[in-house]
């Protein structure tokens, strides 16, 4: 069951990567993207630097922000490529780390620029739009004339782009990438209508996979509980383990 979950996660990632780099039509004519890690893309797609299709770090808290203001803080450790944004930490701004500065809104994407091997990448939803984010994140915001928020989410969760961010990071024990270099990385750009179709299908198909993962994980948890209960019962004498004569 654990291996099955691993395979489902691999399938989920392969689905995302293929959809945002190759599209949905298996018969579409392809062209070389000119970017080694992307490979071929549909002939009618564009390939542009991220900075053309999304802005970066638009909003930050002002220097005059009151230290007595309560905030919900999101650090690198609170974000996961697989699980998204975990429960933020409540604190007064005056007690927060100095890196608690970034602001984001629903539809933005946060990408960690430090410890990039952690793959701390996630889309910001309504529940986390009022949080304060670490300056260790690059907050990407789609430019409406080029990109939909829904497609930006899947672009950022594309394993190939995440690997490109890692490969362009510097440092061994604490690999990091400058936000300016991150937004110079190139990515695929279908039309807005095709972005909407791809995002809609990925929403549906990944939801199915996620539901199956959750169901399987629940089964694993129940089996572990039964195993633990059996061991406890055996070592406390609640089960007669003596062989019959």
**Amino acid 236: pLDDT:** 85
What's the chain's average pLDDT? 93
Q: Are 209 and 8 in contact (CB under 8 A)?
A: yes
Tokens of 200: 């809609």
Q: Is the pTM for the entire model greater than 0.75?
A: yes
Q: Which of 158, 119, 157, 163 lies closest to 137, judged by CA?
A: 119
Q: What average pLDDT does this structure show over 210-233?
A: 93
pLDDT at 139: 96
C-alpha R_g of the chain: 22
Token pair of 135 as six digits:
């300056």
pLDDT score for 110: 96
**pLDDT tens digits, 157-180:** 999 999 999 999 998 888 999 999
In this prediction, residue 244 carries a pLDDT of: 54
Burial 134-164 (b: 16+ CB within 10 A, else e): bbbbbbbbbeeebbbbbbbbbbbbbebbbeb
Taking a C-beta distance cutoff of 8 angstroms, is the pair 199, 24 a contact? Answer: no
Reported as a pLDDT band with limits 50, 70 and 90, residue 140 is very high
Q: How far is CA 240 from CA 187, 226, 243, 244, 245, in A?
A: 64, 17, 9, 10, 13
Q: How far apart are CA 18 and CA 158, in angstroms?
A: 9
Question: How far, in Å, CA of 234 to CA of 241, rounded?
Answer: 7
CB-based burial, 4-18: b 16+ in 10 Å, e otherwise = eeeebeeebbebbbe
Contact between 218 and 81 under an 8 Å Cβ cutoff? The reply is no
Comparing 222 with 237, the larger pLDDT belongs to 222
| Close Cβ partners of 114 (under 8 Å, ≥ 6 residues apart) | 76, 136, 174, 175, 176
By the 8 A CB rule, do 120 and 112 touch?
yes
> Residue 243: its pLDDT value, please?
62
Average pLDDT over residues 95-104: 94
| pLDDT single digits (tens) 22-62 | 999 999 999 999 999 899 999 999 999 999 999 999 999 99
Interstrand relation of 46-49 and 186-189 (parallel, antiparallel or unpaired): antiparallel
Please say whether the dihedral angle defined by the alpha carbons of residues 31, 36, 39 and 42, taken in this order, is positive or negative: negative
Tokens 């293929």: give the residue: 18
């Amino acid at each position: 069951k654990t291996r099955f979950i691993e395979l489902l996660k691999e399938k989920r990632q392969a689905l995302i990567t293929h959809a945002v780099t190759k599209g949905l039509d298996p018969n579409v004519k392809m062209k070389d993207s000119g970017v080694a890690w992307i490979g071929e893309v549909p002939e009618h797609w564009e390939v542009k630097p991220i900075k053309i299709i999304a802005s970066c770090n638009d909003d930050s808290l002002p220097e005059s922000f009151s230290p007595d203001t309560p905030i919900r803080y999101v650090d690198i450790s609170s974000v996961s490529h697989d699980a998204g944004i975990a429960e933020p930490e409540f604190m007064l701004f005056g007690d927060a780390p100095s890196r608690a500065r970034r602001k984001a809104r629903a539809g933005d994407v946060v990408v960690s620029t430090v410890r990039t091997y952690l793959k701390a990448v996630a889309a910001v939803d309504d529940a986390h739009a009022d949080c304060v984010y670490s300056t260790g994140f690059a907050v990407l915001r789609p430019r409406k004339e080029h990109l939909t928020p829904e497609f930006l989410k899947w672009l950022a969760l594309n394993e190939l782009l995440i690997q490109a961010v890692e490969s362009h990071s510097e440092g061994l024990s604490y690999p990091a990438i400058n936000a300016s270099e991150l937004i110079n990385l190139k990515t695929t750009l279908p039309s807005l209508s095709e972005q909407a179709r791809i995002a809609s299908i990925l929403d549906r198909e990944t939801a199915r996979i996620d539901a199956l993962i959750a169901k399987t994980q629940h089964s694993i948890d129940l089996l572990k509980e039964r195993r633990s209960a059996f061991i406890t019962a055996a070592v406390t004498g609640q089960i007669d383990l003596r062989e019959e004569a």
